Amino acid sequence: MKRLSELEVAIFADGAEKAGMLEMYAKPYIRGFTTNPTLMRKAGVTDYESFARDILQAIPDRPISFEVFADEFSEMERQARKIATWGKNVAVKIPITNTRRESSIPLVERLAHDGIPLNVTAIFTLDQVQSVVDAVRGGAPAYVSVFAGRIADTGSDPLPLMVEAVRRLAAAPNARLIWASPRELLNIFQADAIGCHIITVTNDILRKLSLIGKDLADYSLETVQMFYQDGRAAGFAL
């Protein structure tokens, strides 16, 4: 197993809680950050722009993605162009479709070739991957965010799809593939093994990084000790 310092995949922290983002910013192996409206709502964010500008002041030198939250493409475009002005390290997240399953590819192509860094998100199929590759090729830097974890949630193995996505992104040197929504620490090593460029990871998974390379016999003993101590602390009796 590789050590953390040997991984080639870039680890981005995924979240919208300021204290947690700053905790990860202090770690040099965190190469960037992503957010989304769901994470912001969960974190209690009520003023989108104020939150974003505050974070960008605290984290001025690593890539950060902020997502549009409109459903009409004209409003998505207005929001995207505004968000793009907030900092040189900002990428604008655009969902692959709107809620009516209308493709956002024409907007993605227009923004990419107007020089706006993008993160095209909520991608689940290779057809979607290919459409983004075709749209952003030759444009501004772009991320292609495939939700491998959610694909796995359906009972489908995401690895073959991700391997093929890596291959297809070779046609767009300005684009980088993101393994999004991982479910376990192992996914970081899987993403690294197939040559995926980036993996976005939540803080609860990132905090498990200290377990890398841990002796499994020792881990077994610690687990037994945990069960024993919790049984005693609960005062269980038979």
DSSP labels, 61-97: SS-EEEE---SSHHHHHHHHHHHGGG-TTEEEEEESB
Name the residue with tokens 């040189």.
88
Measured CA to CA, the distance from residue 148 to residue 125 in angstroms comes to: 10
Nearest to 32 by CA among 206, 229, 216: 206
| Residue 95 β-bridge partners | 121
- Of residues 2, 93, 208, 214, which has the active-site annotation? 93
Catalytic-residue membership of 88: no
Measured CA to CA, the distance from residue 110 to residue 96 in angstroms comes to: 14
**Helix 18-25 to helix 48-58 angle, to the nearest 10 degrees?**
20
Q: Which residue numbers are catalytic?
A: 93
